[in-house]
Protein backbone atom coordinates (compact mmCIF):
# COMPACT_ATOMS: atom_id res chain seq x y z
CA UNK A 1 0.00 0.00 0.00
CA UNK A 2 0.97 3.65 -0.28
CA UNK A 3 1.32 3.92 3.49
CA UNK A 4 3.68 0.96 3.56
CA UNK A 5 5.79 2.39 0.78
CA UNK A 6 5.96 5.74 2.53
CA UNK A 7 6.94 4.11 5.80
CA UNK A 8 9.72 2.19 4.04
CA UNK A 9 11.09 5.38 2.44
CA UNK A 10 11.16 7.03 5.85
CA UNK A 11 12.85 4.02 7.40
CA UNK A 12 15.60 3.88 4.78
CA UNK A 13 16.14 7.63 4.95
CA UNK A 14 16.66 7.55 8.69
CA UNK A 15 18.99 4.55 8.37
CA UNK A 16 21.27 6.42 5.97
CA UNK A 17 21.04 9.80 7.70
CA UNK A 18 23.38 12.39 6.19
CA UNK A 19 24.89 9.83 3.83
CA UNK A 20 21.75 10.09 1.71
CA UNK A 21 20.46 13.30 0.19
CA UNK A 22 17.28 13.65 -1.85
CA UNK A 23 16.90 16.84 -3.91
CA UNK A 24 13.43 17.38 -5.40
CA UNK A 25 12.46 19.63 -8.28
CA UNK A 26 9.32 21.77 -7.94
CA UNK A 27 7.68 19.89 -10.83
CA UNK A 28 7.83 16.57 -8.97
CA UNK A 29 4.70 14.83 -7.73
CA UNK A 30 3.56 15.37 -4.12
CA UNK A 31 4.11 11.68 -3.36
CA UNK A 32 7.81 12.20 -4.12
CA UNK A 33 8.50 15.80 -3.09
CA UNK A 34 7.30 15.06 0.46
CA UNK A 35 10.54 13.10 0.93
CA UNK A 36 12.90 15.67 -0.54
CA UNK A 37 15.59 17.12 1.71
CA UNK A 38 15.65 20.24 -0.44
CA UNK A 39 13.22 21.59 -2.97
CA UNK A 40 14.24 23.89 -5.75
CA UNK A 41 14.36 24.84 -9.37
CA UNK A 42 17.22 23.51 -11.43
CA UNK A 43 19.61 26.33 -10.44
CA UNK A 44 18.94 26.04 -6.74
CA UNK A 45 19.29 22.25 -6.84
CA UNK A 46 22.59 22.56 -8.71
CA UNK A 47 23.89 24.98 -6.08
CA UNK A 48 22.75 22.76 -3.24
CA UNK A 49 24.34 19.65 -4.75
CA UNK A 50 27.67 21.44 -5.08
CA UNK A 51 27.62 22.06 -1.31
CA UNK A 52 26.71 18.57 -0.16
CA UNK A 53 30.04 16.94 0.73
CA UNK A 54 28.73 14.54 3.39
CA UNK A 55 26.24 12.69 1.17
CA UNK A 56 27.51 9.45 -0.37
CA UNK A 57 24.30 9.02 -2.34
CA UNK A 58 22.23 11.69 -4.03
CA UNK A 59 18.91 10.30 -5.16
CA UNK A 60 17.81 12.93 -7.61
CA UNK A 61 14.08 13.51 -7.98
CA UNK A 62 14.01 15.47 -11.19
CA UNK A 63 15.03 14.77 -14.78
CA UNK A 64 18.14 13.36 -16.41
CA UNK A 65 19.95 16.61 -17.26
CA UNK A 66 19.60 17.77 -13.66
CA UNK A 67 21.10 14.51 -12.38
CA UNK A 68 23.99 14.94 -14.83
CA UNK A 69 24.62 18.42 -13.49
CA UNK A 70 24.50 17.08 -9.94
CA UNK A 71 27.08 14.45 -10.87
CA UNK A 72 29.38 17.08 -12.36
CA UNK A 73 29.13 19.44 -9.39
CA UNK A 74 29.62 16.84 -6.66
CA UNK A 75 32.81 15.05 -5.66
CA UNK A 76 34.02 12.08 -7.65
CA UNK A 77 33.11 9.57 -4.94
CA UNK A 78 29.55 10.81 -4.51
CA UNK A 79 27.01 8.79 -6.47
CA UNK A 80 24.03 10.36 -8.18
CA UNK A 81 21.02 8.14 -8.75
CA UNK A 82 17.97 8.84 -10.94
CA UNK A 83 15.08 6.65 -9.72
CA UNK A 84 13.78 6.13 -13.28
CA UNK A 85 16.13 6.41 -16.24
CA UNK A 86 13.21 7.27 -18.52
CA UNK A 87 12.86 10.62 -16.74
CA UNK A 88 14.36 12.68 -19.55
CA UNK A 89 13.44 16.07 -20.96
CA UNK A 90 12.02 16.41 -24.45
CA UNK A 91 13.55 19.88 -24.75
CA UNK A 92 17.03 18.67 -23.87
CA UNK A 93 16.61 15.91 -26.46
CA UNK A 94 15.99 18.52 -29.16
CA UNK A 95 19.67 19.49 -29.22
CA UNK A 96 21.91 16.54 -29.86
CA UNK A 97 25.64 16.99 -29.99
CA UNK A 98 26.09 15.93 -33.61
CA UNK A 99 23.39 18.31 -34.79
CA UNK A 100 25.02 21.02 -32.74
CA UNK A 101 28.47 20.45 -34.23
CA UNK A 102 26.95 20.46 -37.73
CA UNK A 103 24.97 23.63 -37.06
CA UNK A 104 27.98 25.33 -35.49
CA UNK A 105 30.01 24.59 -38.62
CA UNK A 106 27.38 26.28 -40.79
CA UNK A 107 27.30 29.25 -38.43
CA UNK A 108 31.08 29.62 -38.61
CA UNK A 109 30.84 29.73 -42.40
CA UNK A 110 28.34 32.58 -42.27
CA UNK A 111 29.44 34.59 -39.26
CA UNK A 112 32.98 33.44 -38.59
CA UNK A 113 34.34 33.77 -35.09
CA UNK A 114 31.72 36.24 -33.86
CA UNK A 115 29.42 33.87 -31.99
CA UNK A 116 29.35 32.85 -28.33
CA UNK A 117 27.18 29.82 -27.50
CA UNK A 118 24.95 29.80 -24.44
CA UNK A 119 22.85 26.88 -23.36
CA UNK A 120 19.87 26.71 -21.08
CA UNK A 121 20.68 24.21 -18.31
CA UNK A 122 17.85 22.13 -19.75
CA UNK A 123 20.32 20.44 -22.07
CA UNK A 124 22.52 17.35 -22.05
CA UNK A 125 25.97 17.39 -20.47
CA UNK A 126 27.39 16.99 -23.98
CA UNK A 127 25.82 20.28 -25.06
CA UNK A 128 27.05 21.99 -21.91
CA UNK A 129 30.50 20.62 -22.74
CA UNK A 130 30.28 21.98 -26.29
CA UNK A 131 29.34 25.40 -24.98
CA UNK A 132 32.05 25.36 -22.32
CA UNK A 133 34.66 24.42 -24.89
CA UNK A 134 33.75 27.42 -27.04
CA UNK A 135 33.96 29.94 -24.20
CA UNK A 136 30.24 30.05 -23.43
CA UNK A 137 28.13 29.36 -20.38
CA UNK A 138 24.94 27.77 -19.18
CA UNK A 139 21.95 29.89 -18.18
CA UNK A 140 18.76 29.29 -16.25
CA UNK A 141 15.52 31.18 -16.50
CA UNK A 142 16.46 33.19 -13.41
CA UNK A 143 19.77 34.51 -14.79
CA UNK A 144 19.28 34.34 -18.57
CA UNK A 145 19.19 38.12 -18.98
CA UNK A 146 22.35 38.66 -16.98
CA UNK A 147 24.13 35.88 -18.86
CA UNK A 148 23.06 37.20 -22.24
CA UNK A 149 24.40 40.63 -21.29
CA UNK A 150 27.66 39.01 -20.25
CA UNK A 151 27.83 37.07 -23.51
CA UNK A 152 27.48 40.26 -25.54
CA UNK A 153 30.55 41.69 -23.81
CA UNK A 154 32.48 38.74 -25.32
CA UNK A 155 31.10 38.40 -28.84
CA UNK A 156 28.86 40.17 -31.31
CA UNK A 157 26.42 37.30 -31.67
CA UNK A 158 24.89 34.64 -29.45
CA UNK A 159 23.79 31.12 -30.26
CA UNK A 160 21.12 30.18 -27.73
CA UNK A 161 20.41 26.45 -27.18
CA UNK A 162 18.04 24.60 -27.00
CA UNK A 163 14.94 26.65 -26.08
CA UNK A 164 13.99 29.19 -28.74
CA UNK A 165 11.36 30.71 -26.47
CA UNK A 166 13.55 31.46 -23.47
CA UNK A 167 16.16 32.76 -25.91
CA UNK A 168 13.73 35.00 -27.78
CA UNK A 169 11.96 36.28 -24.67
CA UNK A 170 15.24 37.09 -22.95
CA UNK A 171 16.86 38.74 -25.96
CA UNK A 172 13.72 40.82 -26.54
CA UNK A 173 13.87 41.89 -22.89
CA UNK A 174 17.39 43.11 -23.54
CA UNK A 175 16.13 45.30 -26.36
CA UNK A 176 17.05 43.12 -29.31
CA UNK A 177 14.33 43.35 -31.95
CA UNK A 178 12.76 40.16 -33.26
CA UNK A 179 14.05 40.90 -36.75
CA UNK A 180 17.61 40.50 -35.50
CA UNK A 181 16.94 36.96 -34.33
CA UNK A 182 17.37 33.99 -36.66
CA UNK A 183 16.17 30.47 -35.98
CA UNK A 184 18.32 27.43 -36.67
CA UNK A 185 16.25 24.33 -37.43
CA UNK A 186 18.52 21.39 -36.64
CA UNK A 187 16.46 18.69 -38.34
CA UNK A 188 16.53 20.53 -41.66
CA UNK A 189 19.99 21.98 -41.05
CA UNK A 190 18.60 25.36 -42.16
CA UNK A 191 18.28 28.91 -40.93
CA UNK A 192 14.89 30.60 -40.81
CA UNK A 193 15.56 34.26 -41.43
CA UNK A 194 14.21 36.86 -43.84
CA UNK A 195 16.69 39.73 -43.76
CA UNK A 196 20.39 40.33 -44.22
CA UNK A 197 22.35 37.71 -42.24
CA UNK A 198 24.84 40.38 -41.19
CA UNK A 199 22.13 41.91 -39.00
CA UNK A 200 21.59 38.75 -36.94
CA UNK A 201 22.40 39.20 -33.25
CA UNK A 202 20.89 36.05 -31.80
CA UNK A 203 20.60 32.59 -33.32
CA UNK A 204 17.83 30.64 -31.65
CA UNK A 205 18.03 26.86 -31.67
CA UNK A 206 14.62 25.56 -32.75
CA UNK A 207 13.75 23.66 -29.57
CA UNK A 208 10.91 24.12 -27.14
CA UNK A 209 9.31 22.71 -24.01
CA UNK A 210 6.29 20.61 -24.87
CA UNK A 211 4.71 21.49 -21.52
CA UNK A 212 5.05 25.27 -21.72
CA UNK A 213 4.09 25.39 -25.40
CA UNK A 214 0.62 24.22 -24.41
CA UNK A 215 -0.28 27.66 -23.10
CA UNK A 216 -1.56 29.84 -25.90
CA UNK A 217 -2.99 33.24 -26.63
CA UNK A 218 -6.56 31.87 -26.76
CA UNK A 219 -6.27 30.85 -23.10
CA UNK A 220 -5.26 34.39 -22.23
CA UNK A 221 -8.03 35.99 -24.33
CA UNK A 222 -10.68 33.76 -22.76
CA UNK A 223 -9.46 34.50 -19.29
CA UNK A 224 -9.31 38.25 -19.88
CA UNK A 225 -13.00 38.09 -20.85
CA UNK A 226 -14.19 35.73 -18.14
CA UNK A 227 -11.97 36.75 -15.22
CA UNK A 228 -10.76 40.27 -15.95
CA UNK A 229 -9.25 40.78 -12.50
CA UNK A 230 -7.20 37.58 -12.68
CA UNK A 231 -3.45 38.15 -13.10
CA UNK A 232 -1.58 36.01 -15.57
CA UNK A 233 1.86 34.75 -14.55
CA UNK A 234 3.89 32.58 -16.94
CA UNK A 235 7.28 30.93 -17.31
CA UNK A 236 9.55 32.30 -20.09
CA UNK A 237 9.60 28.85 -21.75
CA UNK A 238 6.15 29.92 -23.01
CA UNK A 239 5.98 31.47 -26.48
CA UNK A 240 6.76 35.13 -27.11
CA UNK A 241 3.06 35.92 -27.74
CA UNK A 242 2.02 34.38 -24.44
CA UNK A 243 4.76 36.10 -22.49
CA UNK A 244 3.91 39.46 -24.08
CA UNK A 245 0.20 39.05 -23.32
CA UNK A 246 0.79 37.97 -19.71
CA UNK A 247 0.99 40.31 -16.71
CA UNK A 248 4.19 38.85 -15.33
CA UNK A 249 6.74 36.29 -16.40
CA UNK A 250 9.70 34.70 -14.73
CA UNK A 251 11.50 31.60 -13.52
CA UNK A 252 10.05 28.94 -11.28
CA UNK A 253 11.57 30.71 -8.27
CA UNK A 254 9.99 33.99 -9.38
CA UNK A 255 6.59 32.36 -9.86
CA UNK A 256 6.72 30.89 -6.36
CA UNK A 257 7.82 34.08 -4.64
CA UNK A 258 5.24 36.15 -6.56
CA UNK A 259 2.46 33.91 -5.26
CA UNK A 260 3.90 33.85 -1.72
CA UNK A 261 3.95 37.64 -1.64
CA UNK A 262 0.58 38.17 -3.32
CA UNK A 263 -2.22 39.62 -1.18
CA UNK A 264 -4.95 37.31 0.14
CA UNK A 265 -7.93 37.19 -2.19
CA UNK A 266 -5.81 37.82 -5.28
CA UNK A 267 -6.49 35.69 -8.35
CA UNK A 268 -3.83 34.07 -10.51
CA UNK A 269 -3.71 32.01 -13.67
CA UNK A 270 -0.31 30.38 -13.96
CA UNK A 271 1.37 29.11 -17.10
CA UNK A 272 3.74 26.45 -15.87
CA UNK A 273 3.91 22.77 -15.01
CA UNK A 274 0.84 21.26 -13.37
CA UNK A 275 2.33 19.75 -10.20
CA UNK A 276 3.73 23.14 -9.24
CA UNK A 277 0.47 24.98 -10.00
CA UNK A 278 -1.53 22.47 -7.95
CA UNK A 279 0.91 22.68 -5.06
CA UNK A 280 0.78 26.48 -5.06
CA UNK A 281 -3.03 26.30 -5.00
CA UNK A 282 -2.94 23.90 -2.03
CA UNK A 283 -0.37 25.92 -0.12
CA UNK A 284 -2.20 29.23 -0.64
CA UNK A 285 -5.89 28.54 0.01
CA UNK A 286 -6.40 32.26 0.68
CA UNK A 287 -5.65 33.00 -3.00
CA UNK A 288 -7.38 31.78 -6.14
CA UNK A 289 -4.87 29.88 -8.25
CA UNK A 290 -5.62 28.06 -11.50
CA UNK A 291 -3.67 26.76 -14.46
CA UNK A 292 -3.72 29.07 -17.48
CA UNK A 293 -4.57 26.01 -19.56
CA UNK A 294 -7.75 24.49 -18.09
CA UNK A 295 -6.67 21.03 -19.24
CA UNK A 296 -3.53 21.36 -17.11
CA UNK A 297 -0.02 20.64 -18.31
CA UNK A 298 1.92 17.87 -16.65
CA UNK A 299 5.53 17.14 -17.53
CA UNK A 300 5.24 13.45 -18.31
CA UNK A 301 8.92 12.75 -17.86
CA UNK A 302 9.11 14.51 -14.48
CA UNK A 303 6.14 12.37 -13.45
CA UNK A 304 8.04 9.19 -14.19
CA UNK A 305 9.70 9.64 -10.83
CA UNK A 306 6.98 8.28 -8.61
CA UNK A 307 6.83 6.73 -5.16
CA UNK A 308 7.43 3.13 -6.37
CA UNK A 309 10.53 4.14 -8.35
CA UNK A 310 11.88 6.23 -5.48
CA UNK A 311 11.36 3.37 -3.06
CA UNK A 312 12.89 0.84 -5.48
CA UNK A 313 16.10 2.86 -5.81
CA UNK A 314 16.30 3.31 -2.04
CA UNK A 315 15.68 -0.37 -1.31
CA UNK A 316 18.47 -1.26 -3.71
CA UNK A 317 20.77 1.11 -1.84
CA UNK A 318 19.76 -0.57 1.39
CA UNK A 319 20.81 -3.89 -0.16
CA UNK A 320 24.13 -2.31 -1.08
CA UNK A 321 23.41 -1.92 -4.78
CA UNK A 322 23.60 1.39 -6.63
CA UNK A 323 21.06 1.38 -9.47
CA UNK A 324 20.55 3.98 -12.22
CA UNK A 325 23.72 5.84 -11.42
CA UNK A 326 24.22 8.91 -13.62
CA UNK A 327 27.82 9.57 -14.59
CA UNK A 328 29.12 12.08 -17.07
CA UNK A 329 32.33 11.06 -18.86
CA UNK A 330 35.36 13.02 -17.66
CA UNK A 331 36.18 14.51 -21.05
CA UNK A 332 32.65 15.96 -21.30
CA UNK A 333 32.43 17.05 -17.67
CA UNK A 334 35.71 18.96 -17.86
CA UNK A 335 34.22 21.51 -20.30
CA UNK A 336 30.62 21.33 -19.09
CA UNK A 337 31.77 22.34 -15.61
CA UNK A 338 33.48 25.39 -17.11
CA UNK A 339 30.15 26.41 -18.64
CA UNK A 340 28.36 25.84 -15.33
CA UNK A 341 30.97 27.71 -13.32
CA UNK A 342 30.80 30.72 -15.62
CA UNK A 343 27.12 30.86 -14.71
CA UNK A 344 27.39 30.01 -11.01
CA UNK A 345 29.94 32.73 -10.35
CA UNK A 346 27.51 35.24 -11.82
CA UNK A 347 24.39 34.00 -10.02
O1 LIG B 1 10.95 23.65 -17.32
C2 LIG B 1 11.82 23.28 -16.54
O3 LIG B 1 12.22 22.13 -16.59
C4 LIG B 1 12.36 24.20 -15.57
C5 LIG B 1 11.72 25.50 -15.41
C6 LIG B 1 13.41 23.86 -14.85
C7 LIG B 1 14.04 24.74 -13.87
O8 LIG B 1 13.87 24.52 -12.70
O9 LIG B 1 14.72 25.71 -14.25
FE1 LIG C 1 11.84 19.45 -19.99
FE2 LIG C 1 9.67 20.99 -20.24
FE3 LIG C 1 9.63 18.87 -18.61
FE4 LIG C 1 11.07 21.03 -17.99
S5 LIG C 1 8.85 20.93 -18.14
S6 LIG C 1 11.73 18.89 -17.82
S7 LIG C 1 11.78 21.70 -20.04
S8 LIG C 1 9.88 18.84 -20.87
What is this model's ipTM? 0.96
Quote the distance between the C-alpha of residue 100 and its chain's center.
19
Averaged over 244-254, what is the pLDDT?
97
Ligand 1 midpoint to CA 107 (Å):
28
- C-beta 251 within 6 A of ligand 2: no
Tens of pLDDT, residue by residue over 3-15, are 999 999 999 999 9
pTM, whole model, 2 decimals? 0.96
Ligand 1 midpoint to CA 111 (Å):
31
User: Edge-to-edge, what's the strand order for the sheet holding 288-291?
Assistant: 248-249, 231-234, 267-271, 288-291
Look at residue 295 in the predicted model and tell me its pLDDT. 86
Q: What is the homologous superfamily of the domain 212-291 according to CATH?
A: NadA-like (3.40.50.10800)
Look at residue 46 in the predicted model and tell me its pLDDT. 84
183 HSE (CA, 13 A, CB side): 15
**Ligand 1: residues whose CB is within 6 Å?**
41-42, 122, 140-141, 209, 235, 237, 252
* pLDDT at residue 294 greater than cutoff 90: no
* Same topology between domain 92-209 and domain 212-291: yes
46/226: higher pLDDT: 226
Q: What is the homologous superfamily of the domain 92-209 according to CATH?
A: NadA-like (3.40.50.10800)
* pLDDT at residue 170 greater than cutoff 90: yes
Q: What percent of the chain has pLDDT over 90?
A: 95
The CATH architecture to which 2-88+302-330 belongs is 3-Layer(aba) Sandwich (3.40)
Angle at the Cα of 47 (from 46 to 53), degrees rounded to 5? Answer: 100
Q: Structural domain boundaries of the chain?
A: 2-88+302-330, 92-209, 212-291
Looking at all shown ligands, the one closest to residue 26's CA atom is 1
Amino acid sequence: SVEEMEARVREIKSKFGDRLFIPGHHYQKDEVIQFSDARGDSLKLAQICSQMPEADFIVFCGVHFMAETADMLTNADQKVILPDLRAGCSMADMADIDQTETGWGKMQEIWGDTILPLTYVNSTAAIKGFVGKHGGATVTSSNAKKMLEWAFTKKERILFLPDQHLGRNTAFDLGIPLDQMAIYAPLEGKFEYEGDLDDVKVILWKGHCSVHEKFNIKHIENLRKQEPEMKILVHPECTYDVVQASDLDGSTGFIISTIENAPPGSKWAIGTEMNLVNRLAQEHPDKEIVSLNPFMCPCLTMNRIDLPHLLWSLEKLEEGEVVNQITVPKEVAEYAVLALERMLERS
